[in-house]
Amino acid sequence: MPQVAILGSTGSIGTSTLEVIRHNLDKYQIIALTANTDADKLLSQCIEFKPKYAVLLDKSKALHLEAQLKNHQLTTILLTNKEDLSYVVQLPEVDIVMSAIVGSHGLMPTYSAILAGKRVLLANKESLVAAGRLINDALKANPKASLIPVDSEHSAIFQSLPTDFATNKNGINKIILTASGGPFREYLKEQLVSVTPEMAVKHPNWSMGKKISVDSSTLMNKGLEVIEAYWLFGTDLDKIDVVVHPQSIIHSMVEYIDGSIIAQLGTPDMKTPIAYALSYPDRIVSGSSKLDFSTLSSLTFEKPDYERFPCLTLAFEALKTGRSSPAVLNAANEVAVSLFLEHKISFYDIYKLIKSAMEYFGTRDYSTIDEIIAIDKAVREYTNSIA
């Protein structure tokens, strides 16, 4: 039975992954679970799935958690260091790694899993945005490793592309990423000026962590996904389009040169792409509800509004500029989103801070993960200092 390690098991994607595995207990076994601070949730997951290892980064809660694990007669080994995230994914018994930490903190363990030749299911798009070229180099150097998309759009594209797309781009005209448009799709610019984090995290179709919910409301999420698609599928930038589709039923599409368009559809539920990433090339039950066409009144499409949602423009610019620019965009965005969630800055300040950081840092070459991590740190410090 494949042994699964989940990075970020207490989050939205982590929890959904465990839900899918609950439907497939005869097919997968949990070997490691990791969390940042949510000790209670990690404990209940350990009680249910009995992993060999658990990682909790919040050291102040570790002693108590360790005692509780013992009380439940669990032999789970509790680790508490950042480096332990990379350690658990590299264990020889691990077959599959779900990369579902939010933000660039997920980069090092994701990269370590690839170096160790694991099958990596990628939800943590920020890793690929920050270090796409290095991740692809690591995949080439470690043919046993694979990177399978979890993001619903990229799962849809993965399912709509020919299986040999990595070596054969013949016939593919473009990739069309769909975007829900987020909770503020119909807001005027004057209204957007004063939206609150509480409004931003209420996504109309998807239930997600706070950071990605804010990213969806600024359309930065789609920008990050354009960069993610560029690295995952090796598509030219001018062959990636974004179309707003508010119902989130078509999860993305591939257009071929003969005019055919192949799309993947389903209810907006991350359990479907998570299940496909786990079982590819087979299929397993995911627990998602099925799409009922008789209740769908319409599927609509519109162009994204770059004027009201300028973060999307910044992401295209960062990809076009290349080199370290996407890493700068990503780090500045992470800081700006945190500050917005803490009510310290307004909605459009997110855009202004990222733009300032991109101007200040410009772009430069990098050749190691440590360099990317240093850039990430410097951009975080700078963005906090000008906020």
Residue 13 site contact among Mg ion, ligand NAD, none (CB < 5 to 8 Å, cut-off depends on kind): ligand NAD
Between the CA of residue 181 and those of 99, 108, 184, 188, 190, what are the distances in Å? 25, 31, 7, 13, 17
Nearer to ligand NAD, 69 or 270 (CB): 270
Among residues 23, 24, 27, 36, the one that binds ligand NAD under rule CB under 6 A: 36
Q: Is 215 in the site for Mg ion (CB under 5 A)?
A: no
Tell the smallest beta-carbon distance from residue 152 to Mg ion (Å): 5
For residue 153, count CB atoms less than 10 angstroms from its CB and return exposed for 0-12, middle for 13-18, buried for 19 or more. Answer: buried
In the complex, minimum distance from the CB of residue 305 to ligand NAD, in angstroms, rounded to a whole number: 22
Contact call for residue 101 and ligand NAD (CB under 6 A) = yes
Whole-number Å distance between alpha carbons of 381 and 297 = 48
Residue 73, Cβ neighbours under 10 Å: how many?
7
Number of residues that bind Mg ion (CB under 5 A): 3
Q: What's the CA dihedral at 101, 105, 111, 116 to 10 degrees?
A: -70
Which token pair is 196? 């609150």
Residues 52/77, Cβ–Cβ less than 8 Å: yes
Does residue number 8 form part of the binding site for ligand NAD (CB under 6 A)?
yes
Q: Which stretch binds Mg ion (CB under 5 A): 145-153, 286-294, 319-327, 330-338?
A: 145-153
Entry field: residues in the chain: 387
Nearest to residue 271, comparing CAs of 252, 257, 290? 290
Q: Whole-angstrom Cα distance, residue 124 to residue 8?
A: 10
Does residue 126 interact with Mg ion by CB under 5 A? no
- Stretch of residues binding ligand NAD (CB under 6 A), selected from 31-39, 277-285, 293-301, 315-323: 31-39
Judged by CB under 6 A, the residue of 151, 269, 334, 376 near ligand NAD is 151
- Listed in sequence order, the residues at least 6 apart from 210 whose beta carbon sits closer than 8 Å to its beta carbon are 197, 201, 341
**How near is the Cβ of 46 to ligand NAD at its closest, in Å?**
14
Interaction partner, residue 105 (ligand NAD, Mg ion, none; CB < 5-8 Å by kind): ligand NAD
Exactly one of 151, 255, 269, 376 binds Mg ion (CB under 5 A); that residue is 151
The CB-of-126 to ligand NAD minimum distance in angstroms stands at 5
Rounded Cα distance between 164 and 227, Å, is 21
**x/- map, 69-98, ligand NAD, by CB under 6 A:** ------------------------------
User: Looking only at residues 113 through 142 of this chain, which bind ligand NAD when binding is defined by CB under 6 A?
Assistant: 123-126
Residue in the shown chain whose Cβ atom is closest to Mg ion: 151
Query: Cα-atom radius of gyration of the chain, to the nearest Å?
Result: 20
Name the residues that contact ligand NAD, by CB under 6 A: 8-14, 35-36, 38, 57, 100-102, 105, 123-126, 151, 206, 208-209, 211-212, 270
